[in-house]
């Protein structure tokens, strides 16, 4: 039992904290969000130089072999700064799925440049009819004349605009889950781009008779790999939410100490003190769950899924609680676009809509309850 | 980071489990399992067995005759004891007054009292709260006036747990009414046989006689029974509140209670199916499970910090608040699970030696325990006080 970070991990944490403080101030963030997502920002190049793009991948695919704790440190720092880079959606999720499914040639073509920061990817696993269920999809892939043909519609694909190609799940004729890599310029594919309410670049990917060569099929049975990658993504999201919760709590506490009403700082009122403590309690309990998730990635599948579903459900509810309290305790200011905590609040509420919400994950815990 | 126990720690757990299986008398564990109150003799029998094993004073250093365990071993020990339905060691001697005597007491006091605690010769109780001093403990009024080699003590203490069995009382008294309220307090050790002491039972809403009022009427206490200097009593009291509170979440008890809820709700039928399959009930069990998982990891974080030399301070408050809330929720779920069977009340069985048929015995304690568990968020500093402590010490408000 050990909760301490190694020396390397502490250095990683310090480096990231400095980087976020230097390069992602509220004004810098606003400027970054105003630009079209390209996957090649100055900050992304810095990530590459610092080895962050290699960190979460195994050595056998050219990564640095970082574990769940390393990923947690990175995600937490990105969450603290609300850093507008698609680290998870554009690098970790599609990259891990490639690492698990792609053959040598496919890895050379798609994974190696990803780790070098030469391109970003996206992962299209979600469909509007299936809500959060990654396996109840209707997009079809059929093999004909030595080619694959894909038809369907993928919903809320994060990082779609910047991605050189998108990993797409599709149902095969034999009922199994296939995984394909669809280049951005593939004929028959089209996109409807937008930003989510918490500022993430995303879009809908429409596949209309998209014809792909055989080598664009990454797997003809990708269920287990997808489940593994989604589990990793959920653990990573929990860690990111911890960073955002920390910052929302810190900003709220600072505001309570500085803002005066009735001639006294708000922090002197007991009703507000206890509300602030409740936020802190939610944060610390959620941190424990995020640690549990990060250290569960290599457990046997059912244990892994149980712990991570529990963590995602728990953090989802805490994140919403902290977001709502942060707005309430900031009073009218918390309602404004100008108030930075409002952006954290938006992300913390919408956290529950990424990779399955509390209800979805509570159901998983309920099904696996021992 | 990793959350697994080392091979040595796992071996220790197995050793504790074996010991409990061999040494814990089945009539005692059965009383605990059924939620019946323990008689003084039940406590003493079990504590003598622990004493013989050298495990009674689980938080004492070896130098004073303890096992010299660290926080991780104590945590494992507590968890296994709760799982085996072992009685909780009455804490007022080993866990409360003993650390104060070790830290602030004279050599003579240490030599006299510590071995007697270790051998269960003395049964200690706590004289802290007063009718006018609950959460505001430092507002206490029990007065001790110096008279030669003695203090003459007058006043009233309350909520004295198991005071009816005790022969010794550790007591906060006001020795200087003119000093600032915390500064005028001293810490006295009082023999309950001294003339002028009256113990009166307080019956709680579950029908139990667990707590008492103690009246002190011109009680004569030798000056040598004062621990530390005159006016240092608040320092001793505060030390007690921060000493070894990694067990404050009651994790072992919460785990046991959740296991019980699940097993109960798997057996009890609702419209031909186990109650655990009723969505609204199951949802609450699932939420309790999540809360327990979070609490366990938070508890381990605090234990690991204590093991590595940190002092669990305000984090204990977090554990206390969330631990008590969870245990209360679990007592609520147990009561609800029983449905109408939670209504019959058999005080003679729960609090005395009365018999009861086997089926009723299984469910007899649930409602009484639900009411009893309300104390968890009140005693040891009410949860609202804990939140104010966190606001002040962690958040700097």
| Chain B residue whose CA is closest to A249 | B395
Other CB atoms closer than 10 Å to residue A162's CB: what's the count? 23
Is residue A52 classed exposed, middle or buried when 0-12, 13-18 and 19+ CB atoms within 10 A define those classes?
A: buried
B30-36: long-range pairs with CB below 8 Å, 24+: B30/B85, B32/B85, B32/B86, B32/B87, B33/B85, B34/B361, B34/B362, B34/B364, B34/B365, B35/B350, B35/B364, B35/B365, B35/B366, B35/B368, B35/B369, B36/B349, B36/B350, B36/B351, B36/B365
Mean pLDDT of A115-137: 97
| Chain A residue whose CA is closest to B296 | A288
Residue B242 pLDDT > 90: no
Nearest to A277 among B3, B290, B391 (CB): B391
Size of the A and B interface in Cβ pairs below 8 Å: 110
Mean pLDDT of B68-85: 96
DSSP structure string for B246-315:
TTTT-HHHHHHHHHHHHHHHHHSEETTEEGGGSHHHHHHHHHHHHHHHHHHHHHHHHHHHHHTT----TH
Active-site residues of B, by number, are 244
Give chain A's contact residues with B (Cβ, < 8 Å). Answer: 1-5, 69, 253, 256-257, 267-268, 270, 273-274, 276-278, 280-281, 284-286, 288-289, 291-292, 294-295, 307, 310, 313-314, 362, 365-366, 369
Q: Which residues contact B26 (CB under 8 A, 6 or more apart)?
A: none
Share the mean pLDDT of chain A.
97
User: For residue range B293-348, what is the model confidence (pLDDT) as tens digits?
Assistant: 999 999 999 999 889 887 766 788 899 999 999 999 999 999 999 999 999 999 99
C-alpha A349/C-alpha A356 separation (Å) is: 13
Distance (Å) from the C-alpha of residue B388 to the closest C-alpha of chain A?
Answer: 7
Q: What is the DSSP letter of B4?
A: P
Residue B244 pLDDT: 59
Other CB atoms closer than 10 Å to residue B303's CB: what's the count? 24
Confidence band for B245, pLDDT divided at 50, 70 and 90: confident
B286 CA to centre of own chain: 27
Residue A291 pLDDT: 98
Residue B377 pLDDT: 95
C-alpha B72/C-alpha B69 separation (Å) is: 8
C-alpha A217/C-alpha A146 separation (Å) is: 12
Q: Under an 8 A CB cutoff, do A69 and B3 touch?
A: no
Mean pLDDT of A247-270: 98
| Chain A residue whose CA is closest to B9 | A1
Distance (Å) from the C-alpha of residue A341 to the closest C-alpha of chain B?
Answer: 18
Distance (Å) from the C-alpha of residue A270 to the closest C-alpha of chain B?
Answer: 8
Q: Which two tokens stand for residue A359?
A: 């209800």
Chain B residues closer than 8 Å to A273 by CB: 387-388, 391, 395, 397
Give chain B's contact residues with A (Cβ, < 8 Å). Answer: 1-6, 9, 72, 262, 282-283, 285-287, 289-291, 293-298, 300-301, 303-305, 308, 318, 321-322, 384, 387-388, 390-391, 394-397
Range list of H helices, chain B: 7-23, 26-33, 40-53, 71-83, 91, 98-104, 107-118, 233-242, 251-267, 279-307, 315-338, 347-351, 358-363, 366-372, 383-393
Asked if this assembly's ipTM is beyond 0.90, the reply is yes
Helix (H) or strand (E) holding B199: strand B197-203
Residue A75 pLDDT: 98
DSSP structure string for A216-282:
GEEES--HHHHHHHHHHHHHHHHHHHHHHHHHHHHHHHHHHHH-EETTEEGGG-HHHHHHHHHHHHH
Distance (Å) from the C-alpha of residue A246 to the closest C-alpha of chain B?
Answer: 12
Give which of A91, A29, A106 is closest to A54, Cα–Cα: A91
Residue B309 pLDDT: 84
Residue B313 pLDDT: 66
Q: Which two tokens stand for residue A120?
A: 């970003």
Tokens 């089926």 belong to B359
Q: Which two tokens stand for residue B46?
A: 């079990």
Give which of B89, B165, B157, B88 is closest to B126, Cα–Cα: B157
Distance (Å) from the C-alpha of residue B290 to the closest C-alpha of chain A?
Answer: 6
User: For residue range A10-49, what is the model confidence (pLDDT) as tens digits?
Assistant: 999 999 999 999 999 999 999 999 999 999 999 999 999 9
Mean pLDDT of A203-216: 98
| Chain B residue whose CA is closest to A290 | B294
The answer to whether the beta carbons of residues A319 and A352 sit under 8 Å apart is: yes
Q: Under an 8 A CB cutoff, do A1 and B388 touch?
A: no
Chain B residues closer than 8 Å to A288 by CB: 293-298, 301
Share the mean pLDDT of chain B.
95
Nearest to A365 among B5, B290, B298 (CB): B290
Tokens 């992304």 belong to A44
Chain B residues closer than 8 Å to A365 by CB: 286, 289-290
Could you tell me where the beta strands, DSSP code E, fall in A91-200?
120-124, 140-144, 147-158, 163-172, 177-183, 189-195
| Chain A residue whose CA is closest to B282 | A366
Q: State the maximum Cα–Cα separation within chain A, in Å, rounded to a whole number.
A: 79
Q: Under an 8 A CB cutoff, do B2 and A2 touch?
A: yes
Nearest to B290 among A256, A270, A310 (CB): A310
Q: Under an 8 A CB cutoff, do A281 and B5 touch?
A: no
The answer to whether the beta carbons of residues B265 and B276 sit under 8 Å apart is: yes
Other CB atoms closer than 10 Å to residue B251's CB: what's the count? 25
Pairing of strands A120-124, A163-172: parallel
């Amino acid at each position: 039992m050990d909760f301490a970070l190694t020396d390397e991990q502490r250095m990683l944490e310090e480096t990231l904290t400095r980087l976020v403080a230097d390069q992602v101030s509220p004004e810098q963030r606003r400027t970054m969000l105003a630009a079209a997502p390209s996957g090649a920002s100055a900050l992304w190049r810095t990530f590459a130089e610092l080895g962050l793009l290699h960190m979460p991948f195994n050595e056998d695919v050219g990564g640095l072999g970082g574990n769940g704790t390393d990923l947690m440190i990175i995600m937490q720092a990105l969450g603290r700064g609300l850093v507008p880079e698609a680290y998870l959606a554009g690098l970790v999720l599609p990259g891990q799925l490639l690492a698990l499914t792609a053959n040598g040639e496919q890895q050379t073509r798609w994974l190696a440049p990803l780790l070098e920061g030469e391109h970003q990817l996206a992962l299209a696993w979600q469909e509007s009819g299936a809500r959060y269920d990654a396996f109840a999809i209707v997009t079809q892939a059929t093999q004909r004349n030595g080619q694959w043909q894909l038809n369907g519609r993928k919903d809320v694909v994060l990082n779609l605009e910047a991605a050189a190609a998108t990993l797409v799940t599709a149902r095969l004729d034999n009922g199994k889950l296939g995984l394909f890599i669809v280049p951005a310029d593939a004929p028959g594919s089209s996109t409807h781009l937008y930003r989510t309410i918490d500022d993430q670049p995303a879009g809908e990917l429409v596949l209309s008779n998209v014809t792909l060569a055989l080598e664009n099929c990454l797997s003809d049975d990708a269920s287990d790999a997808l489940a593994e990658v989604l589990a990793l993504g959920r653990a990573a999201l929990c860690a990111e939410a911890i960073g955002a919760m920390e910052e929302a709590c810190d900003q709220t506490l600072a505001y309570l100490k500085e803002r005066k009403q009735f001639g006294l700082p708000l922090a002197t009122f007991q009703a507000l003190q206890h509300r602030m403590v409740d936020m802190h309690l939610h944060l610390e309990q959620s941190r424990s769950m995020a640690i549990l998730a990060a250290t569960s990635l290599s457990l046997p599948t059912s244990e892994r899924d149980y712990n991570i579903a529990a963590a995602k459900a728990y953090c989802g509810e805490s994140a919403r609680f902290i977001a709502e309290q942060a707005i309430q305790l900031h009073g009218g200011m918390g309602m404004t676009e100008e108030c930075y905590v409002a952006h954290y609040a938006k992300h913390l509420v919408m956290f529950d809509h990424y990779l399955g919400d509390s209800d979805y994950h509570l159901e998983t815990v309920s099904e696996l309850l021992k | 980071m990793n959350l697994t126990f080392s091979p040595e720690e796992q071996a220790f757990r197995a050793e504790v489990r074996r010991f409990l299986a061999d040494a814990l008398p089945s009539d005692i564990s059965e009383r605990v399992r059924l939620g019946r109150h323990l008689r003084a003799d039940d406590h003493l029998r079990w504590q003598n067995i622990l004493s013989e094993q050298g495990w009674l004073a689980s938080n004492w250093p070896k130098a004073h005759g303890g096992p010299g365990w660290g926080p991780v071993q104590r945590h494992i020990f507590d968890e296994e004891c709760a799982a085996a339905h072992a009685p909780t060691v009455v804490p007022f001697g080993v866990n409360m007054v003993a650390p104060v005597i070790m830290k602030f007491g004279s050599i003579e006091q240490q030599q006299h009292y510590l071995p007697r605690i270790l051998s269960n010769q003395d049964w200690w109780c706590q004289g802290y709260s007063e009718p006018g001093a609950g959460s505001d403990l430092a507002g206490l009024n029990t007065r001790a006036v110096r008279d030669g080699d003695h203090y003459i003590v007058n006043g009233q203490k309350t909520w004295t747990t198991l005071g009816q069995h005790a022969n010794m009382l550790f007591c906060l008294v006001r020795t200087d009414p003119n000093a600032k309220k915390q500064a005028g307090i001293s810490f006295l050790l009082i023999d309950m046989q001294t003339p002028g002491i009256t113990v009166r039972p307080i019956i709680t809403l579950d029908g139990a006689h667990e707590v008492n009022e103690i009246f002190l009427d011109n009680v004569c206490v030798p000056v040598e029974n004062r621990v530390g200097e005159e006016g240092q009593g608040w320092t001793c009291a505060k030390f007690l509140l921060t000493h070894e509170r990694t067990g404050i979440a009651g994790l072992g008890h919460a785990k046991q209670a959740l296991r019980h809820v699940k097993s109960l709700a798997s057996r009890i039928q609702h419209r031909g199916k186990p109650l655990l399959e009723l969505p609204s009930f199951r949802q609450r069990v699932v939420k309790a499970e999540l809360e327990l998982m979070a609490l366990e990891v938070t508890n381990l974080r605090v234990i690991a910090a204590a093991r590595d030399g940190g002092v669990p301070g305000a984090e204990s408050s977090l554990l206390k608040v969330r631990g008590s809330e969870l245990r209360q929720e679990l007592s609520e779920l147990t009561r609800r699970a029983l449905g109408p069977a939670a209504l019959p009340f058999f005080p003679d069985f729960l609090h005395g030696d009365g018999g009861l048929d086997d089926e009723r015995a299984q469910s007899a304690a649930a409602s009484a325990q639900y009411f009893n568990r309300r104390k968890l968020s009140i005693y040891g500093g009410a949860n609202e006080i804990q939140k104010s402590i966190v606001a002040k010490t962690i958040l700097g408000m």
